[in-house]
Amino acid sequence: MTTLFSSYRLGDLALPNRTVMAPMTRVRAGAGGLATPSMATYYAQRATAGLIVSEGVQPSLVGQSNPGTPGLHTDEQTASWRAVTDAVHVNGGRIFAQIMHGGRVSHRDTTGLRPVGPSAVPAVGDVFTPTGPKPAPLPRALETAEVPEHAQAYADAARRAVDAGFDGVELHGANGYLISQFLSSNANLRTDGYGGTVAGRIRFAVEAATATVEAVGAARTGIRLSPGGGFWGVEETDVPELYTGLLTELARLDLAYVHVEATAEEPVLTALRRTWPGTLIMNPVLPMGPKQTGPAEAAHWLGLGADLISFGRGFIANPDLVERMRTGLPLAPVDEATYYQGGDSGYLTYPAYQHAA
């Protein structure tokens, strides 16, 4: 019987278990978007995960969403990541970089540039800036001729990721960021070939994935999706049709995996599982919702056909999460106040389980 602790073959990678450390923004990068020694320690501490997916990494300056996040668009950034990937590999782990273009979820105070999006429609809510939260600004709608260069940015960052030692990349197509904005029926009001119909709205995602596959290979390319998620005010009025169309096109690329968040009703998600013929990573609970993924949720989705299960907050406070779940040890609680505060407290200060003498 398949369990969370069964091995799995993901492309050229032999995963010792079916746990995935989900991408989580921790805003601990150095000046200039550089990865730091603390980041190397953080990821190495969690190398017993079957697969680690890094925090979102911007593929360009205009693609940066939050201050304090790392990039993969300069030589210095690329070099800084090598210590991170080396540390994970020395500790026996495997790591993909999540490539995240924030699109309209950004601010000039963070990047010095006006955010861009599929249409001139602002996100809903406040965005983070170096001086605190501010209302999401009105983005500049991309011209048709500009769109391909933003799709190509994912591929360019993927090349840098592989050069930096990552085992692959995950395109962030979820949670209201640029790919998700193109998929949307209210953030994307375009009337050219990148909007309107389902075929138009999925085009940017497919082009970004295609370019990345051409750059680093299908076995090194995954994508994360949040069907019907509603993050940052994004709406999708036709979730089953939209994601069936998208997964059908992505299946032609033979991607390493699709990583799906539980942002739609279970019957919708299980139907999408049947549409997608390849590896499915399932994030079984709503991101940042009241509930955290545990062994019961993992077993449920493995039974429904998921191949791998991603865990977010559990990995923050429990660097040895896999062993704790394997042996039934209690999980340490996470201190939410330290999520984004910077520094090593609440980042490197969660120990492995301490057995009594």
Q: Which pLDDT tens digit goes with each residue over 28-85?
A: 999 999 999 999 999 999 999 999 999 999 999 999 999 999 999 999 999 999 999 9
Q: What are phi and psi of 335, to 5 degrees?
A: -95, 100
Q: 343 in a domain, yes or no?
A: no
- Tens of pLDDT, residue by residue over 210-265, are 999 999 999 999 999 999 999 999 999 899 999 999 999 999 999 999 999 999 99
Q: Which two tokens stand for residue 135?
A: 């209302």
Q: Is 294 exposed, middle or buried (0-12, 13-18, 19+ CB in 10 A)?
A: middle
Question: For residue 303, how many other CB atoms are within 10 A of its CB?
Answer: 10
Q: Enter the tokens of residue 36.
A: 């730091």
Does residue 251 belong to any structural domain of this protein?
Answer: yes
What average pLDDT does range 339-357 have in this prediction? 87
Quote the pTM value.
Answer: 0.96
Number of domains making up the chain:
1
Residue 58 CA, chain-centre distance (Å), reads 11
Q: What is the mean pLDDT of the chain?
A: 96
Instruction: Kindly tell me the sign of the dihedral angle through the C-alpha atoms of 341, 99, 333, 289.
Output: positive
In whole angstroms, give the CA distance from residue 102 to residue 95: 22
pLDDT of 356 > 80? The answer is no
Q: How far is CA 343 from CA 129, 157, 326, 347, in A?
A: 18, 26, 30, 7
Per-residue pLDDT reduced to its tens digit, 254-310: 999 999 999 999 999 999 999 999 999 999 987 766 677 888 899 999 999 999 999
Residue with the bigger pLDDT between 1 and 83: it is: 83
CA atoms within 13 A on the CB side of 101: 32
Residue 285's pLDDT is what? 81
Q: Which residues pair with 258 in a beta bridge?
A: 223, 280
Is residue 205 situated within a structural domain? Answer: yes
What pLDDT digit, counting tens, does each position of 120-161 carry?
999 999 999 999 999 999 999 999 999 999 999 999 999 999
CATH of the domain at 183: 3.20.20.70
In a domain, 352, yes or no: no
Query: What is the model's pLDDT at position 288?
Result: 65
Domain-located, residue 348: no
Active site residue 194: no
Share of the chain above pLDDT 90, in %: 91
Q: Is residue 345 part of a domain?
A: no
Asked if residue 145 lies in contact with residue 123, where contact means CB atoms within 8 angstroms, the answer is no
Question: What pLDDT score does 287 carry?
Answer: 73
Six-digit token string for 264: 């739609």
In angstroms, what CA-CA distances link 63 with 107, 135, 172?
Answer: 10, 18, 12
For the chain, the 3-state helix, strand and coil shares in percent, each to the nearest 5, are: 35, 15, 50
Least confident of 4-8, 33-37, 337-341: 337-341
| pLDDT at 355 exceeding the cut of 90 | no
Residue 316 domain flag: yes
Give the gyration radius of the chain's Cα atoms.
19
Query: Can you list the positions of beta strands (E) in the chain?
Result: 8-10, 13-15, 19-21, 51-57, 95-99, 116-117, 126-127, 134-135, 140-141, 168-172, 221-225, 257-261, 280-283, 308-311
Convert the pLDDT of each residue in 307-327 to its tens digit: 999 999 999 999 999 999 999
34 secondary structure, DSSP code: B
Catalytic residue among 177, 194, 243, 347: 177
Distance CA 101, CA 106 (A): 10
185: left (phi over 0), alpha (psi -120 to 50) or beta: alpha
Q: Does the pLDDT of residue 201 top 90, yes or no? A: yes
Q: Is-contact 102 108, C-beta < 8 A?
A: no
Segments forming the whole domain that contains residue 258? 8-338
Residue 268 domain-assigned (yes or no): yes
Cα distance between residue 262 and residue 291, in whole Å: 12
